[in-house]
Amino acid sequence: MLPIAMVTLDVTNEEDFDIFIWIRDLNTVGRVFTVDGARLNQDSQLSVQLQEDGNGKVSYHWAAEQIVDEKPAYHWVGLVKPSDPAAVVTADEVPTLDFSDTKKAVVLPYMFRPYP
């Protein structure tokens, strides 16, 4: 049996708000979330271990939701998989996943916000 190669994905939040983040490693068996609703404060970073495939690439699905009080919250989703350049593992590290309000986002209705 071949050893399982793990790599690090750094997730950064350089926005002026906190977010909740979900990441699911698509190279693992089952529907296990690597990060399941973790809070990532503004201007902070989170490191996540992902499994690489036999070709030195990762595949993962991510979602993030903005944490706000009264104004509309935003929801982002993305999929990173081969042949996306962000899926290529270099020096045991995956390109950083960061969030920006310039990415396509949708308003998250208040009733679906995952926090009080």
The answer to whether residue 67 scores a pLDDT higher than 70 is: yes
pLDDT of residue 114: 54
Query: What backbone torsions phi and psi does residue 87 show, to the nearest 5 degrees?
Result: -85, -10
CB of 40 closer than 8 Å to CB of 20: yes
Highest mean pLDDT among 11-15, 58-62, 90-94: 58-62
CB of 60 closer than 8 Å to CB of 86: no
- End-to-end distance of the chain based on CA atoms, in angstroms? 46
Mean pLDDT across the stretch 79-99? Answer: 85
State both tokens at 98: 């960061």
pTM score: 0.80
The answer to whether residue 83 scores a pLDDT higher than 70 is: yes
